Amino acid sequence: MKNKPIIIIKNIFCVITIIWSAIMLTEYLVVLLPFQLKGILFEIADFLVIFLYLGIVAVPILFIISAIFIGVVEGKYDHADKLKKLNVATVVLPIVTFVLMLITNFNARLQ
């Protein structure tokens, strides 16, 4: 079966959401570490902080758009979307990041 354009667009949004959520989760876990990074690791973590701050707004928007696309594709095309693991990761990873940030009082840690 030929891929429908909406499935391709959904997959693009899902991949972007997963990548950004993974960067945010990694960066926030670095913030939670009890020790300071040194050298090149510090430089990489320092560069990725911008994704953490932008992601606080961008990831929920990407999550909502991806969830809408997942719902539309699941409703319209029953067996056309073979990437169920991508859909699960798109939903789970941002939620895990969000919950971790909430229970560790992320606003105070990022100051």
Mean pLDDT of each 10-residue bin along the chain, 111 residues long: 78 93 87 81 82 86 92 77 82 91 79 64
Question: Per the structure block, which two tokens stand in for 81?
Answer: 């979307």
pLDDT at 66: 93
pLDDT at 64: 94
Question: Per the structure block, which two tokens stand in for 79?
Answer: 């067996």
pLDDT at 2: 62
Angle at 15 between CA 22 and CA 27, to 5 degrees: 15
Rounded-to-integer distance, Cα 49 and Cα 23, Å: 9
DSSP state of 4: P
